[in-house]
Chains A and B, each alone.
Chain A
């Protein structure tokens, strides 16, 4: 028997540690860079976003309460598991972004390295961003960075894997949980990344990946009272200002979108971690 029936994968959302279809039942066709059909992806609705926020809020206590050292280990584990799926990622990135096999390989390697880079940062943030403050009184006074909470991330539209990892990993490194709306036209690497996250010790609900349209779901996340911060990187440029205005209703942290999508292979620095960290200052009385 040589003619085997093809076993096609149903691309689903990654929500609360599970892989559900969209609550709306909608799907859309995903094409490669030349317009040829690749797969059908779940088209997330506002109710999927709502459920994702509930899952992210539920996961926040455990993830933010884990030691920074442990979070680093988990993020490194993501890199390890991703490395094992290299071929699949290369294929999806090459098809979706229209890259040669060699260029796609470089992008996937950079994405794996990006996890490792942020994994190393988890237990160094407090030393670099925190401080012992000299104060005029009998107090030992120190400041430490604390996670902001549930962060909504509108992931970059063009760079479907390296861009996604570059916006997601810094949110997690600080101890936040994330609701991510992936690239609309190139969602497949994100779907595979969900499978990697599900098998690499990241607690369910810490990352929720919604494939769909940032322009449709973005306003619901921006207005949501239980979302603490929003990263507008992948927002439609014409809509960014409106999203920022909606976010003001619940006093969210907002990371504004860059004028155009940056070169994600550049050294990321701390600039994507600090917007999602709050500074806690403790005044500790000392001997009287």
Chain B
């Protein structure tokens, strides 16, 4: 895919990334300019994207490559619990699992992060102290995003204050779908500011954006506004993370880096339940954006039940016989 902005047009010496002084200042100056830019992005070939994702999904990953893929996938998991019934005890048990996913096998890597609601970020922070595992908190009136700007920003400050290293925000899909792009942009900028030092993941909720074109536009919008990660879904809407939508977002971060020099991470979340799904995503990353993104710093898998399936497959590879759900912890 080519992009309307040639990286060559970047003025020499300009600082890459969004904000004052970048090549994209013009684009985000007004609603009309932003709309013109986003609608000027090349359209996604829907059949082509689905075909490409399906073809990559048929790759056969076996033996040592499979072992590597499983360990890599485990280290990329954002172990998530986002239920109304979450308790501090549940978050602590999840944190214990994040540190040592397979208690019987210390060689299993720890996961990347634990993802909780903002009010429980403090509990997670305490339980994960000194481990290097990050605490991610959802904020901005997750999952619907239906609240005023003040409430959303207060939600973010509260989560950061509770010790969250990463904030997962949702965009205002209503504003996006009705074409008020600048409003969405400004909101992301404001949230990014409220995050302070915390990483910002922007949830596009692609299931509600309906088209791949919208997913591409929303990815660019989030990246222009300063997102550190773009994330597919909240996990509360079906369809959530699908391979084609992940492909579209990966292409967007690839093109964004080519245009600005800034690398943005991708996090598919929701609906990834089996090792096979996770490996398909890793293949997609490697074939679309390359090995630069094959690390927990740049690619995450938002999931809860996926981890157990990864562990079962890991045990199968290690012992040579099939394992069972009695051999992993109950979430």
Q: Which residues of B contact A223 (CB under 8 A)?
A: 320-322
Q: Report the Cα distance A225→B322, complex, angstroms.
A: 6
Q: Which residues of B contact A (CB under 8 A)?
A: 320-327
Q: Report the Cα distance A50→B276, complex, angstroms.
A: 15
A191 located at the interface, meaning its Cβ lies under 8 Å from any Cβ of chain B in the complex? no
Q: Report the Cα distance A180→B301, complex, angstroms.
A: 37
Q: Which residues of A contact B324 (CB under 8 A)?
A: 53, 57, 224-227
Q: How far is the CB of B2 from chain A (nearest CB, A)?
A: 41
The dominant DSSP class at the B interface is loop
Sample of 26 A–B contacts (CB below 8 Å): A50-B322, A53-B322, A53-B324, A57-B324, A57-B325, A220-B321, A220-B322, A223-B320, A223-B321, A223-B322, A224-B321, A224-B322, A224-B324, A225-B321, A225-B322, A225-B323, A225-B324, A225-B326, A225-B327, A226-B322, A226-B324, A226-B325, A226-B326, A227-B324, A246-B321, A249-B321
Q: Which residues of A contact B327 (CB under 8 A)?
A: 225
New A-B contacts (10) at CB < 8 Å, excluding given A57-B325, A226-B325, A249-B321: A53-B324, A223-B321, A224-B322, A224-B324, A225-B321, A225-B322, A225-B323, A225-B324, A225-B326, A226-B323
Q: How far is the CB of B293 from chain A (nearest CB, A)?
A: 31
Q: Which residues of A contact B (CB under 8 A)?
A: 50, 53, 57, 220, 223-227, 246, 249
Residue on A with the closest CB to B321?
Answer: A223
Q: Which residues of A contact B323 (CB under 8 A)?
A: 225-226
Q: Which residues of B contact A224 (CB under 8 A)?
A: 321-322, 324
Interface core residue of B320, B321, B325 (most chain A CB under 10 Å): B321
Q: Which residues of B contact A57 (CB under 8 A)?
A: 324-325
Residue on B with the closest CB to A47?
Answer: B322
Q: Which residues of A contact B326 (CB under 8 A)?
A: 225-226
Q: Report the Cα distance A208→B46, complex, angstroms.
A: 39
Q: Report the Cα distance A249→B323, complex, angstroms.
A: 11
- Nearest first, the 3 A-B pairs at minimum CB distance are A226-B324, A223-B321, A225-B324
